[in-house]
Amino acid sequence: MSYAAFYQQSIQNPSAFWDEQARLIDWHKPYQQVLDTSQPPFAKWFVGGETNLCYNAVDRWVATQPDKAALIAISTETNTEKVYSFAELHQEVQRMAAIMLSLGVQRGDRVLIYMPMIAEAAFAMLACARIGAVHSVVFGGFASKSLATRIDDAKPVLVVSADAGMRGGKAVPYKPLLNDAIELAEHKPAHVLIVNRGLDAMTLVAGRDVDYAALRAQHMQTPVPVTWLESNEMSYVLYTSGTTGKPKGVQRDVGGYAVALAASMKHIYCGNAGETYFATSDIGWVVGHSYIVYGPLIAGMATIMYEGTPIRPDAGIWWSIVEKYKVTRMFSAPTAIRVLKKHPPELMKKYDLSSLKALYLAGEPLDETTSSWIATELGVPIIDNYWQTETGWPILSVARAIENTPTRLGSPGVAMYGYNVQIINEMTGAECGPNEKGVVAIRGPLPPGCMQTVYGDDQRFVSTYWANFAHEQLYSTFDWGIKDEDGYYFILGRTDDVINVAGHRLGTREIEESISSHPQISEVAVVGVEDKLKGQVAVAFATLKHPDAATTPEQKQALEAEVMAVVDKQLGAVARPSRVYFVGMLPKTRSGKLLRRSIQAICEGRDAGDLTTIEDPHSLAQIKDVVGQKV
């Protein structure tokens, strides 16, 4: 079957299509209805069916491949490595589940997980799924104030945490941040379960804090049966990054998510039971939920949980893992590949990477230079994919298991099955023609696995995502895009990153692409800065491939003029940035996202906001320095 025919089936007859995909998981009780759209834009999938994420990820594989590797926990920070078979993972999850039950956690209760990338974090997520509790993972090391807002929104009965994480060889204490967050929060969780790694001295709060190791010893042989859940019960809440004010919790179901992940592992990621999957993300983000913990395990694959950086102890560490565990599918971010590009390629070539079949990249636009470089070095397909916390799995990619669809440089791919993707003119609400810029939108119903609603706020779900076009109720991704004549999509940046210069609406992504085409530019961030005359002006911050090429003021001035001339030629003078500043590094989160709003705030003399997840604080200091602010 061609992919085009496969896709059309999913759009024209979603019930029949997803009924077929639902066979990829085990059901305790058959569903009565595949799809209920009686209350649009809300959709219910596999109504009446009962299943369990933990059962599909762990228990069913214990019966067929108990001794095969399931979870491979590697920390280059603590120099530890442990492989858990499916049988061993099954035991550890039951122990964690027994601990939770002993602490009063019941079906439907929320459990907040604030953990580093260690095996116990996966145990906690799977244990919640097993007993029907709702987990909410917050990125480890998140600031106390931000953590407190999530505690107040989710109202967890239990928080699972650790004494500390580690980053770049340094301990990152979690317990003091958690203590302060609970102090700030109005809601007080009954218990805090602490995994003591011995990385940071701490004191347990009497009556509230409990030691994981001590309770685990009490429940070594405690069996915990699976709690069967109706397909549309809640599995987890994950707060989207960059939220301001009241947190926006993406609420996910059970059955639809399990089916969507199973289908994506088969059709998009081409994963097979017994193979090894390596996603380099963090469980604090949606990639960690879908493609570190749940997706690979549901597919019967071993999954790698990695604590560390891509360059420690050296830039060959990831490739040594690929060789050792015969990784077949790898998932990372373009930023990480750009980091590796700066290091000697010999560090990659010294390892046997013959097991690797493909590298998938997502999280930010993939530039052609990075894609071409890593494709040449690895000699495997580089497959971009575009999706969101809200969707849980790719909106755009190529489904190589259906048809060997070619990739196209600069494009994340074509619409994935189940997603009725449209490019919409934001002014008229009409569908755009080929290569005409508009908002990337999706006609309802959203396919299985996508968010059910905003946790605790159905109206916010409707008003935020479904009320942005005057003539039709469509889901807005808040991204600009175009679709070419062959159905390939190109993402041009966030609609809320549009800047208005003297009445002209300009996408910062377009200006960044133009500046990046200059041969001296390595990476660039463009922000809109308030201007009394023009409303906003574009300001660019760029890193150089060869920093010594512009060290004197005269050299920098000449290079700035060259860059502006490139923009003039490609986009016109209206898109020319008012300034191009050259810095040693750009400020990013640990997951590789550029902190554009923080850069903008510094340029406008405002507070840079919550910088807990910033990779290197010195990068912001450089921004302040070049724009003349006091550090």
What residues contact residue 553 under an 8 Å CB cut-off, 6+ apart? Answer: none
pLDDT of residue 416: 98
Backbone angles phi, psi at 375, to 5 degrees: -65, -40
What is residue 432's DSSP assignment?
P
- For the residues 420-438, what does the mean pLDDT come to? 95
pLDDT of residue 597: 81
pLDDT of residue 364: 77
Band of the pLDDT at 22, cuts 50, 70, 90? very high
Band of the pLDDT at 514, cuts 50, 70, 90? confident
The answer to whether 503 and 478 are in contact (CB under 8 A) is: no
Band of the pLDDT at 70, cuts 50, 70, 90? very high
pLDDT of residue 469: 92
- Domain with residues 502-626, CATH architecture: 2-Layer Sandwich (3.30)
Helix (H) or strand (E) holding 234: strand 234-239
- For the residues 192-217, what does the mean pLDDT come to? 97
- For the residues 381-403, what does the mean pLDDT come to? 97
Band of the pLDDT at 461, cuts 50, 70, 90? very high
What is residue 157's DSSP assignment?
S
- Separation of alpha carbons 462 and 454, rounded Å: 9
Positions of CATH 3.40.50.12780 in the chain: 3-308+385-465
Reference 139, options 209, 229, 239; nearest CA is 239
Band of the pLDDT at 631, cuts 50, 70, 90? very low
Percentage above 70 pLDDT, the chain: 97
What residues contact residue 16 under an 8 Å CB cut-off, 6+ apart? Answer: 9, 34
Positions of CATH 3.30.300.30 in the chain: 502-626
Q: What is the mean pLDDT of the chain?
A: 93
Band of the pLDDT at 629, cuts 50, 70, 90? low
pLDDT of residue 493: 74
**Tokens representing 571?**
């986009």
Give the pairing of strands 535-544 and 579-582: parallel
The answer to whether 541 and 564 are in contact (CB under 8 A) is: no
- Separation of alpha carbons 545 and 589, rounded Å: 21
Band of the pLDDT at 628, cuts 50, 70, 90? confident
- For the residues 242-263, what does the mean pLDDT come to? 86
Count Cβ atoms below 10 Å from residue 384 Cβ, excluding itself: 23
Q: Is residue 244 over pLDDT 50?
A: no
pLDDT of residue 589: 79
Band of the pLDDT at 245, cuts 50, 70, 90? low
- For the residues 481-494, what does the mean pLDDT come to? 92
- Domain with residues 3-308+385-465, CATH architecture: 3-Layer(aba) Sandwich (3.40)
Q: Is residue 178 over pLDDT 80?
A: yes
| Per-residue pLDDT tens over the stretch 581-625 | 999 999 987 767 788 888 998 998 887 766 656 777 788 888 989
Band of the pLDDT at 170, cuts 50, 70, 90? very high
Band of the pLDDT at 421, cuts 50, 70, 90? very high
**Tokens representing 16?**
């029949």
Band of the pLDDT at 33, cuts 50, 70, 90? very high
- For the residues 157-180, what does the mean pLDDT come to? 95
- For the residues 45-61, what does the mean pLDDT come to? 98
pLDDT of residue 242: 40
3-state secondary structure of 282: coil
3-state secondary structure of 25: coil
| Per-residue pLDDT tens over the stretch 402-411 | 999 999 988 9
pLDDT of residue 196: 98
**Strands annotated E in 267-312:** 276-279, 302-307
Cα of 52 vs its chain's centroid, Å? 23
- For the residues 298-324, what does the mean pLDDT come to? 97
